[in-house]
Amino acid sequence: MKKSKLLLFMLVSAFILILAACGGDDSSDGNTSDGGDKASDGEKDYGVKYLSILTGGTQGTYYPLGGTFADLISTETGVKTTAEVSQASAANMTALQNEEGEIAFVQTDIAYYATEGTEMFEGQPIDTVSALGALYPETIQLVTLADSGITSYEDLKGKKVSVGAPGSGTYANAEQLLEIHGLSIEDDIVAQNLDFGESTDGLASGQIDAAFITAGYPTGAVEALNATNSVNIIPVSAEKAEELIAKYPYYATDTIPSGTYGLAEDVPAVSVLAMLAVKKDLSEDLVYAMTKAIYDNTDKISHAKGSLIKAETGLDGIGIEVHPGAQKYFDEVNN
């Protein structure tokens, strides 16, 4: 009797061990909860888990657009994508080089300087970044108060003028426009290195006479200034615009329409373009999918600049290498 009970106990124990072993094997083979190394059913595995879009300050245009782009890319590719606050163009190019993000907003001129190793990137070219696509114009606005007495670039001589931080896109724009008009930052004006908000505050208080602001119009900081002080935008003549573009081909002619900031007439101006840059080592399939997610869904962009983002102009003004994935998309839709 004792032998029978012992035998039964041994059989039951062996059966339990076999069940446990089978259950452990099933769990091991199907485990995908360790960060998603395996793509979910129906989703393509692009080899990355997350993407970061480097934008700019929260009060600018890049940040809200970046949030929309992040949502579109996440939805269309299945890769979780987030928009990150940053110091904008020049800092974004350096951050991509340092692998602190995968996608970034940048001005076309800054992207060109970075890849060529000129201006603020003198002697330190960035060779790990390529273009995804152009977005919309960023107008160089020389802002003054209507009663300042300043009506032309020549009137800036001896005046206190905000030109942006050294090394910024605005600073380079200011330097080149002043040069075309026969002026220099060092010798002909009293340069002030202020951001957009500080510039408009300085104009309102009388601490500065004019300010360069490179941004899509209408720019919030300038609109806020115009709410309390009538503003004026100094024009760039067709002749000077042509001269500027001949020397710096990443510029384009632009017009700030009447009614903007209460302007009575259209103001001729010049602009660079906002664009998206990406790390070169992102796969062709992924960049194709990201490009398609943005340019096929521009009707879902609620920001005012969304109407200017079009596949047919996606390669305009770009002076750097285009990522093969983006080039594939634009070849498909534009041919």
Residue 60 pLDDT: 75
The domain locations on the chain are 50-136+274-334, 138-272
Helix, strand, or coil here: 289?
helix
Instruction: Quote the distance between the C-alpha of residue 123 and its chain's center.
Output: 24
**If 0-12 CB within 10 Å is exposed, 13-18 middle and 19+ buried, where does residue 85 land?**
middle
Q: Which residues of the chain have pLDDT under 70?
A: 1-43, 59
- Contact present, 140 and 173 (Cβ < 8 Å): yes
- Stretch (H or E) spanning 136: strand 129-145
Statement: 50-136+274-334 belongs to CATH 3.40.190.10: yes
Give Cα 268 to chain centroid, integer Å.
Answer: 25
Determine the 3-state secondary structure of 276 from DSSP. strand
| Same fold: 50-136+274-334 with 138-272 | yes
- Say how far apart CA 237 and CA 267 lie, in whole Å: 9
pLDDT confidence of residue 43: 66
Contact 164, 195 (CB under 8 A): yes
Homologous superfamily (CATH) for 138-272: Periplasmic binding protein-like II (3.40.190.10)
pLDDT in tens, 153-166: 999 999 999 998 77
Per-residue pLDDT at 100: 96
In this prediction, residue 164 carries a pLDDT of 86
Is the pTM higher than 0.85?
A: no
Q: What is the pLDDT of residues 64-77, one digit of tens each?
A: 999 999 999 999 99
Q: What is the pLDDT of residue 304?
A: 84
